[in-house]
Amino acid sequence: MYRAMQLFFLAVLLSVPFALTAPNSARADNGELVLRLVDDHVIPGYEDFAVASKTLDDEVTSWCLASQSDPDAMIAAFKAAFEAWARIAHIDLGPVRYLDRRFRIQFWPDPRGLTARELRPLLEAGAKSSGTLPLDMTDASVAVQGFPALERLLPFPANTESLPKQTVCPIARGITRNLASMSSDIVLDWSNPEGFRDAIKRSIDGTGPYDSADSALADLMTGVLAGLQGVSDLQIARPLGETLAKARPVKAEAWRSEVSLELIQARLRSYADAYGLEGRGLDEALRGAGHAELADLMRRAFAQTLATVAGIDGSLSEGVRDPKVREHLSTLGVEVSALRALLATKVAPALGVPAGFNSLDGD
């Protein structure tokens, strides 16, 4: 019965009819919209991530170099940096793809256990060394350069094997230095003269990497759609399992640091911010193109989804084993899927996103 109600809710949302062909005179300027998204969402998001990554690097360094130190500030910095990444990870184009940065920042999911396997020789080498200087991680496997590897090294309660600082710190400091360097380079590669922002601006005139502003908007929207699919399929359904008996709490993203729900919430808030953009985003574009009814529905859908995730307490790894919390998580998964379907089948056509737009692109 409960599953039937969820499917009914999704079907109702997707069956709402809208006139998706607006007169050219009413159509929003997608060129201006794309630049607003870049200037007010993309670049600020990467700037926040760069600041948070630098703070994380500083806190890990302080913890490693102090003879006796409380790890609380370092743990808080880890969580803040991870959430900052979650808020911008859906922008899967341009500089984050250079040099495999996206996978180096977060190699997940990792079904073959590559992170643990690649960490093992580094830890064995660290156990034989008395140094504290950060390792150069740039030539290491992508699986050990980012958050999932760092999470295994820091003193979270779930890491039952307590490793000495002299073993952990050279690797941990190498990872945080690497994150700080990559995040600042991404900002520069976006905002420098002749950077990727300039390339997108030139695309509006037909001289950049995209053949039109519509194509650039399609790429940005594809990132959000892939992010929404990741929330429903990876962050929620994967640890939830089909039944209570098949729940897999250790399949949750960031289960060791117990920030799985916070990362989901950060992502959903970021997608809502990108859609609204303080009244200057996709919502305004829809209304300008004569689709106020669809814009109203999108606002309600985002508000409902954010309210649902805010109402889930505790950690995700504990929640997937609690029947009541599982119901809320299942509801959230359906609402996220409905949001994604609305964006792909209603909003994209209404904004003139190219017919070749593929909502399944991305991870």
Q: What is the pLDDT of residues 293-311, one digit of tens each?
A: 999 999 999 999 999 999 9
Amino acid (1-letter code) at residue 48: D
Report helix angle 213-230 to 30-37, nearest 10. 50
Reported as a single tens digit per residue, the pLDDT across 241-289 is: 999 999 999 999 999 999 999 999 999 999 999 999 999 999 999 999 9
- Is residue 145 within 8 A of residue 175, CB to CB? The reply is yes
What does the pLDDT read at residue 23?
A: 39
Find the DSSP H helices in 72-195: 72-86, 101-105, 114-127, 147-153, 165-191
Q: Please state the pTM of the whole predicted model.
A: 0.92
Within 10 A of 102 (CB to CB), how many other CB atoms are there? Answer: 22
Reported as a single tens digit per residue, the pLDDT across 124-181 is: 888 777 677 899 999 999 999 999 999 999 999 999 777 888 899 999 999 999 999 9
The rounded distance, in Å, linking the Cα atoms of 322 and 313 is: 11
pLDDT confidence band for 205 (50 / 70 / 90): confident
What does the pLDDT read at residue 133?
A: 86
Residue reference for tokens 């504290």: 132
End-to-end, the C-alpha distance of the chain in Å comes to 31
pLDDT above 90 as % of the chain: 80
What does the pLDDT read at residue 29?
A: 81
Sequence spans of domains, the chain: 2-39+211-350, 41-196
pLDDT confidence band for 2 (50 / 70 / 90): very low
φ, ψ of residue 81 to 5 degrees: the values are -70, -40
Closest Cα to residue 106, out of 232, 236, 267?
267
pLDDT at 361 over 60: no
Residue of 26 and 141 predicted with greater confidence: 141
Write the CB contacts of 74 (distance below 8 Å, at least 6 apart in sequence). Answer: 56, 59, 60, 62, 63, 154
The rounded distance, in Å, linking the Cα atoms of 105 and 26 is: 41
What does the pLDDT read at residue 16?
A: 54
The rounded distance, in Å, linking the Cα atoms of 363 and 354 is: 20
The rounded distance, in Å, linking the Cα atoms of 239 and 229 is: 15
What does the pLDDT read at residue 126?
A: 80
Give me the architecture of the 41-196 domain, per CATH: Up-down Bundle (1.20)
pLDDT at 7 over 80: no
* Average pLDDT along the chain: 90
Amino acid (1-letter code) at residue 129: S
Reported as a single tens digit per residue, the pLDDT across 55-113 is: 999 999 999 998 777 899 999 999 999 999 999 999 999 999 999 999 999 999 999 99
